[in-house]
Amino acid sequence: MGKEQWRFKRFYFITSFAVLFFITVGMGSYFVIGKYNEFKQYALKDKLTNIENKKLILKNSVDSFVQQANSIVSKVESDFESRLLSRVNTAHRIAQKIYGEMKPRSSDREIKSAIKAALSSMIFDSNYIFIFATDGLNISSPLLKHLEGRNTLDMRDSEGNYTVRDAIKIVNEKKEGFMDVFWEKPGSESRELKKKKVYVKLFEPFNWVIGYGEYKDDFDAETQANVIEQLESISLDSHSYLFATTYDGVSLTKPAKGKNMYDVRDVNGKYIVRDLIDTAKNGGGFVLYVMPPFKGARPENKLSYVAPINKWDWYIGTGMYLTDIEAAYEARLAAIAEFAKREIILVIVALVVLLLFGGFIFHLFSNKLQKLIDSYNDELKELNLSLEEKVIEKTSELNELNLSLEQRVEEEVVKNREKDRIMFQQGRLAAMGEMIGNIAHQWRQPLSSISMFIQDIQEAYECGELDDEYISGTVGRCTQTIGHMSDTIDNFRYFFNTDKGQVKFCVEDEVKKCLNLLDAGLENNSIEITISNDGCVDTFGVPGEYAQAIVNVINNAKDVLLARKIEKPKIMIRSFVEDDFVNVIICDNAGGIDEGVIERIFEPYFTTKTDGKGTGIGLYFSKMIIEGNMLGKMSVTNLDEGACFVISVPVAE
């Protein structure tokens, strides 16, 4: 093996091994890092999922208890109303029975006294059966004797309600029914009026109202105590519990039972209970705060969910410590790090084995590759010799071909120039033909005038009116008319003067010159011309060529208006300056150009006119003048009424 071959083999082996090493290490690192990040994302997602699950558990626990409490309240209230109804109906049956038994043999006074005595004994703790007449007279009030015999029709409760009148109204309309009143509670030292649920029923024989009621505060206190007892008996887990607080801030459960927490703030200055109350009043939700250092409580971040019991102005809630979830997340990350460490060790071992195996394979392959390279070198030497001969042969052929191509290119350039020259000449001849037609229109009126002057001279001579003054006036008018005809010829020569060089000229002046040549033909065909401009703006070029472009567009517009027999033909010309270009827009009301051919309108020999009336040179010739000679732009577009040609040339500096 030669020295160079040995160097190649060593270089090949080292390079291949290095490539394999970096690829293997890179892929292994990518795999390990990817796995670590994947597990880290999983742990984070697990943390967020855990928080959401915990929040759902908190919400379900609170909502479930609130629903249970509301059910208890509803059931107790239903039982409460049933009890009132039952006691009033019992009293009413007793009164009916006494009335039925005593009526045949006793007076009304005796019967009333017996009924009052029987019902006065129906006392239940601080509540009793009461009776008053429909005129407001209090018949029986066992625990409030001072009211008996008095007319209480005008008595009002603390809310301003006429309670007796309201009861009478109920029995008059429905015979019986429930009502809420604020009545003096027997045994109350403050004689404060308390809310009372009352059921009343009409006793028709004497037009009495028999009723019974119980104070809501006694009923609510008993029910609330029952709910609080059930609330405190529920255990969620070691760190979670249900709590209840009034909208006044009084805590009803541990850890601050009996304390007013309305003004308590956490370490961040947040009013905890106020936020919880506001959240509950808005239908319930979550509140984040730092737990105050109560006995048995951890002063850490806590997320609580609260829901309202609106009948009592309470909220029920429970919470969780976020630090517990953070601790679980950190433990999961530690486990992931340990797992990643084991993965890295396995990957390193696998890499070492793979590298050793790869090195052995490359060593074997390098020997075979060297043999192949040697054989290919011999073939390449032979191929190089044959290629050199072919290159010399092809180079000679290319040189000959280049010479012939140069000659062909020169011939084609000459042909194209001749073709362009002929095309431009055709364009000028076509324009000249249009101009001659316009001159004929321009001269028809002056020639007619001169003919009339001559006839007038003859008539004046025959009538003896021919004198020096008459001849002088007639000659003057003829001279003026002939001068106008001469100006027309001068304008015609101006447009087709090819000896002019590029000069600065006013665009508006050239447009007016064009209209002076064309106005006779336009007027004879009743075509209305409207012009608007921004004043005289200069550009740089050959004025005659620019004017030819304008004339071509106006003539095309005239032809299409006549061909389509437009009822009120119009050509609108507007000039203005924009972005350092002076623009002339020429529009007609002939209905526009067919969208299928508008892209070809500037092609040479393309025409939309029929019967050989168009050469297809005019618009092509105009575009070449504007864009080729004056470095401007020429385009066409269809608007509502017809086609609009836009001719833009640079403003002269």
DSSP 467-500: -HHHHHHHHHHHHHHHHHHHHHHHHHHHHT-TT-
Which H or E run contains 362?
helix 322-463
Confidence of residue 387 (pLDDT cuts 50, 70, 90): confident
CA dist., res. 20 & res. 365, Å (int): 14
pLDDT of residue 632: 93
CA dist., res. 185 & res. 194, Å (int): 6
pLDDT of residue 295: 60
Question: Which are the contacts of 483, defined by CB distance < 8 A and separation ≥ 6?
Answer: none
CA dist., res. 65 & res. 68, Å (int): 5
CA dist., res. 423 & res. 443, Å (int): 30
71-97 confidence digits (pLDDT tens): 877 777 778 888 899 999 999 999 999
Determine how many CB atoms are found less than 10 A away from the CB of residue 140.
Answer: 23
CA dist., res. 258 & res. 242, Å (int): 15
Token couple for 298:
């951890």
C-alpha closest to that of 204 among 168, 247, 175: 175
355-365 confidence digits (pLDDT tens): 677 666 766 66
The pairs formed by 13-20 with CB atoms below 8 angstroms and a separation of 24 or more are 13/359, 13/362, 13/363, 13/366, 16/362, 16/366, 17/355, 17/358, 17/359, 17/362, 20/354, 20/355, 20/358, 20/359, 20/362
Which H or E run contains 80?
helix 3-102
Contact present, 176 and 97 (Cβ < 8 Å):
no
* 421 has a pLDDT exceeding 60: no
Question: Which are the contacts of 19, defined by CB distance < 8 A and separation ≥ 6?
Answer: none
Residue type, 384: N
Least trusted range by pLDDT, from 191-205, 239-253, 389-403, 552-566: 389-403
In the block, residue with structure tokens 């905890």: 272
- Whole-angstrom CA distances from 270 to 81, 236, 267, 279, 289 are 44, 26, 7, 14, 7
Half-sphere exposure of 566 (CA within 13 A, CB side): 21
- State the chain's maximal CA–CA distance in angstroms: 159
Determine how many CB atoms are found less than 10 A away from the CB of residue 577.
Answer: 14
pLDDT of residue 549: 87
DSSP E strand boundaries for 301-407: 301-309, 314-321
* 611 has a pLDDT exceeding 80: no
Q: How many helical (H) and strand (E) elements, i.e. helices and strands, does the chain have?
A: 10, 17
Contact present, 487 and 443 (Cβ < 8 Å):
no
In the block, residue with structure tokens 């030669």: 2
Mean pLDDT of the chain, nearest integer? 79
Give the pTM: 0.40
More confident residue, 427 or 332: 332
Contact present, 286 and 267 (Cβ < 8 Å):
no
309-340 confidence digits (pLDDT tens): 888 889 998 888 777 777 766 777 677 667 76
Question: Which are the contacts of 609, defined by CB distance < 8 A and separation ≥ 6?
Answer: 559, 563
Confidence of residue 98 (pLDDT cuts 50, 70, 90): very high
Token couple for 196:
């009372």
Pairing of β 285-290 and β 301-309: antiparallel
pLDDT of residue 482: 73
More confident residue, 218 or 181: 181
505-563 confidence digits (pLDDT tens): 999 988 988 888 777 778 888 899 999 988 899 999 888 888 888 988 998 898 889 88
Burial of 396 (0-12, 13-18, 19+ CB in 10 A): exposed
Token couple for 407:
């000659």
CA dist., res. 66 & res. 307, Å (int): 7
Contact present, 548 and 625 (Cβ < 8 Å):
yes
- Whole-angstrom CA distances from 34 to 37, 117, 348, 390, 433 are 5, 93, 16, 57, 83
C-alpha closest to that of 538 among 449, 650, 416: 650
In the block, residue with structure tokens 């709910």: 227
Contact present, 142 and 123 (Cβ < 8 Å):
yes
451-464 confidence digits (pLDDT tens): 666 776 777 777 87
Token couple for 396:
């000679």
pLDDT of residue 637: 93
CA dist., res. 207 & res. 134, Å (int): 6
